[in-house]
Chains A and B, each alone.
Chain A
């Protein structure tokens, strides 16, 4: 909790779709289509973002400084010039962490009320 600066709380709670986009970018820098695919893959196809929703989210995250557009692009052979690549900013990472911790707290309450099984330790 201490790793998260106080202003990260200003963004919470994120909408589930925004959180999914942040999570997708937490791994790698991705272009729009890749974000959609990543979200779909991670959620087993339960969350499918439409282009309208995705770019509405991207615009907000860019405005809020949670992601940036990359200037460097991949090698020309594997690039489509219409594609743009996005990266999570340190602030974006903190906001994602804050959101994950917020959810974690809610989950532990749910567990303590026996609404959820305890997580299996590996």
Chain B
């Protein structure tokens, strides 16, 4: 019986632990004795039933009482904490600001990470969507109609397979002709993505039948931008490609992938995709392909299935898929495809924000510690009055909790303010940027971070306070020994702050150096003073090569005569872009080819005669294009240096001929020009072959106009010339080439800016932290300094002593940071351009900057120490 009693008491005691410490220490023993009596009596009177009933009532009672008691306790602590915070507004403000910046940085970056990397795709069963890629060796290839039909018919793993390509068409029927980005898609494209129109209807199978009435779906953005969100747009008609198109619906605001389009049309409505020649030619590859896996299928299973189809195609059409081309098909989940560009940058930024927060925590912990020194007497008195240690621990934690929560609120305001900037930033990496919002998950994360922050910044001082209480009482109120323990902790915190700041500065420094390297890359041409714009001709009106050629030649001639224009050219695409990339294989006359062996490939560009002149691309050998390079004269081409050395080898390309149609027609190489960074400053020059525009007329072209004045200033004049030739002809994407270049490096620029911002924040927090702690040290060593000076120490020596103490902490921090950086930065390497993660100049520079900042921070208190008057100090003591 006694054993049962003691077991019940033990269980009861455990149960009591649910109640707050103070409550327990006040009433616990009494409650225990009451329970023991209850327990004995229940057993005596009603046996096991009575005991069980007692247990039930007791458990329910404690569970009901505990939350209220905890809340009441917290209310009391919080009230006291708020009074304390009001008492030292300087400390409170500094702590809230520091934590606000730290927490704000985290919630801001987390809002991006959450939307881009954590949330499921906003498409129904988005995890089952895959992207298909055809590869010839290392080269990605689009799909032809014939291939799409084969994959659709033969795949067993996909429940739906849809195609997509993007076109620029001119939409007539509004006040001005408008160039619209058009997504040309299978009828079930949106069904496969699980996207239902906001209103109106989706495409139906009959919309995709040849000869069906042309229909359009509007994207949400275009609908808002161009129609002001007017719902009556459904059933309105517009003219496109010489055909009446009826708007049948508006899409919801979902991220558009692969491109942001204005309108969508079924494949049969696209005049290029529906040409019989395009349908018949297995090599006419212009479409992208997406699939939805059947339920239960995984990406590797789908990959195996589709590889089987690829093998079938190779067997059935050996001429189209020669073995030497290493034909294959790749299946990638859409989620991976949408986010893989963003992942490394976002994770690095999240880690950086985490470091900023850690530094902020260490700083607030230090502020707390130094405040504790001032509050020592108060705490000792409270301890003497009977406040339990746990109670004081709790009180201090409540204070830091309140600071962190208020700081968190401030942080949320910061990140709220930065949201649109962040969306713009993330849009450089992923189409999912528009999903970034301050939602419940971000709020929850912020609160969690605030709680964690309060634990981190409050525990050290709270622990120190426990020692203080004991120490102060033992020492009868003197501070000498107490200070020492706390200084050790405070020094540790400083070292940690310096180490983390060093890491962040290294990250930012590496990014900055990499960005500067990128900026300094010679693009191979002069982007200064060049105006560019895109012109896509109405294919109905300009339906022959002659008309297209005549249009561009007339336009360029007129622009050339405009004042302020040095030279005007047209090209199928401008540098730093790859939207019209055209890769093809060819055979060089005289070079032996064996059947089954891969032919040389190069990127083909169609340009007008003044292109090289307008961009200052040097001609190394032979000549540029001439006005006489027209139909009727031999076809000519110019190759770049890379193509010359890779594909012609030791042979001089000038004078040789090549054929892209297996020897039916031959083109003569007439010159060799310099390489340019067509696809971006960080990409290697491709093997390029330029062909003459007059011999290869184009529907769509970009103008490249070298000016002697600010390029955008002549844009209006150029548009007037364009409209003088054809009033219905719009131009798009009017930008200077320097703008294009700036945009091409926007992602690394913004990343290095953000990292730089974090690093500066860290540097400022750490420097003020060091300064604050050194000021405290000086305050506490006044007596000692006074004595030293009285026995002959000179101010210079005192200055050096204090500086030495501060700088030795800094040095330890830098050394630890250095080890951390060497260990961590290799994770970072893929974001860097031609800069090693262990780049010595960056490390030296960062150490110097951090050292200088620490020196400056220590100098103020050190000078104050050096200026102390020993007489006054000693008299005061």
Which residues of A does B touch, CB under 8 Å?
Answer: 32-33, 36, 48-56, 58-59, 80, 82-84
Contact = CB atoms under 8 A, between A and B. Distances in A.
A54 B30 CA distance: 11
26 contacts: A32-B31, A32-B33, A33-B37, A33-B38, A50-B57, A50-B58, A50-B60, A51-B34, A51-B35, A51-B61, A52-B58, A52-B64, A52-B66, A53-B65, A55-B23, A55-B30, A56-B65, A56-B68, A58-B27, A59-B23, A59-B26, A59-B27, A80-B33, A82-B30, A83-B33, A84-B30
Contacts of A54: 34, 61
B31 A51 contact: yes
A30 B63 CA distance: 25
- In this complex, the member of A51, A56, A80, A84 whose beta carbon has the largest number of chain B beta carbons within 10 angstroms is A51
A33 B65 contact: no
B740 interface: no
Contact of B34 (A36, A48, A56, A59): A36
Contacts of B204: none
Given A32-B34, A33-B38, A80-B33, A53 B61 contact: yes
B19 interface: yes
Given A51-B62, A83-B30, 10 more contacts: A51-B58, A52-B31, A54-B34, A55-B30, A55-B31, A56-B68, A56-B69, A59-B23, A59-B27, A82-B32
A53 B34 contact: no
Contacts of B616: none
Contact of B30 (A32, A49, A56): A32
A84 B65 CA distance: 20
B29 interface: yes
A80 B65 CA distance: 26
B26 A33 contact: no
Contacts of A32: 30-31, 33-34
Given A59-B27, A80-B33, A82-B29, A51 B64 contact: no
B35 A53 contact: no
A33 B60 CA distance: 18
A82 B28 CA distance: 10
B33 A33 contact: yes
A61 B61 CA distance: 17
By CB atoms of chain A within 10 A, which of B19, B33, B60 has the most?
Answer: B33
Interface of B: 19, 23, 26-27, 29-35, 37-38, 57-58, 60-66, 68-69
Contact of A52 (B30, B32, B37, B62): B62
A32 B35 CA distance: 10
B60 to A, nearest CB: 7
Given A36-B38, A58-B27, A59-B27, A52 B19 contact: yes
Contacts of B66: 52
A1 B31 CA distance: 37
A58 B26 CA distance: 11
A70 to B, nearest CB: 13
Given A36-B38, A50-B58, A55 B32 contact: no
Contacts of B63: 52
Contacts of A80: 33
Contact of B62 (A33, A49, A50): A50
A52 B60 CA distance: 8
B162 to A, nearest CB: 64
Contacts of B19: 52
A82 B30 CA distance: 5
B61 A50 contact: yes
A58 B34 CA distance: 13
Nearest to A56: B65
A102 B611 CA distance: 98
B600 to A, nearest CB: 86
B571 to A, nearest CB: 82
Nearest to B41: A37
Nearest to A80: B33
Contacts of A83: 30, 33
Contacts of A59: 23, 26-27, 69
Contact of B27 (A48, A50, A55): A55
Q: Please list the 4 inter-chain residue pairs (A to B) with the smallest Cβ-Cβ separation, ordered nearest first.
A: A50-B61, A52-B61, A52-B62, A82-B33
B359 to A, nearest CB: 43
A8 to B, nearest CB: 23
Contacts of A84: 30
A70 B37 CA distance: 21
A57 to B, nearest CB: 9
A52 B35 CA distance: 10
A31 to B, nearest CB: 8
A36 B23 CA distance: 19
A52 B38 contact: no
Contacts of B62: 50-52
Nearest to B15: A52
A33 B61 contact: no
B875 to A, nearest CB: 50
A95 to B, nearest CB: 20
Given A56-B65, A56-B68, A59-B23, A51 B38 contact: yes
Nearest to B12: A51
B372 to A, nearest CB: 29
Contacts of A33: 33-34, 37-38
A105 B500 CA distance: 71
A80 B29 CA distance: 11
A88 to B, nearest CB: 18
A103 B30 CA distance: 32
Nearest to B33: A82
B568 to A, nearest CB: 88
A28 B64 CA distance: 28
Contacts of B35: 51
A50 B26 CA distance: 17
Nearest to A53: B61
A52 B34 contact: no
Given A59-B23, A59-B26, A48 B33 contact: no
Contacts of B26: 59
Nearest to A35: B34
A44 B68 CA distance: 29
Contacts of A51: 31, 34-35, 38, 58, 61-62
Contacts of B69: 56, 59
A33 B38 CA distance: 8
A51 B32 CA distance: 8
A53 B38 CA distance: 14
Contacts of B37: 33
B42 to A, nearest CB: 10
Contacts of B38: 33, 36, 51
B34, B65, B68: most-surrounded residue (chain A CB, <10 A): B34
Nearest to B26: A59
A53 B64 CA distance: 8
Nearest to B61: A50
Nearest to B23: A59
A53 B62 CA distance: 7
Nearest to B35: A51
A83 B58 CA distance: 19
B62 to A, nearest CB: 4
A51 B23 CA distance: 13
A36 B35 CA distance: 10
A55 B58 CA distance: 12
A55 to B, nearest CB: 4
**Which of A49, A52, A59 lies at the interface centre, i.e. has the most chain B CB atoms within 10 A of its CB?**
A52
A113 B793 CA distance: 97
B132 to A, nearest CB: 65
A59 B73 CA distance: 12
A69 B417 CA distance: 56
A53 B29 CA distance: 15
Scoring A49, A56, A58 by chain B CB atoms within 10 A of each residue's CB, the highest score goes to A56
Nearest to A51: B31
A90 to B, nearest CB: 24
B69 to A, nearest CB: 7
Most buried by A among B30, B57, B69: B30
Contacts of A53: 61, 64-65
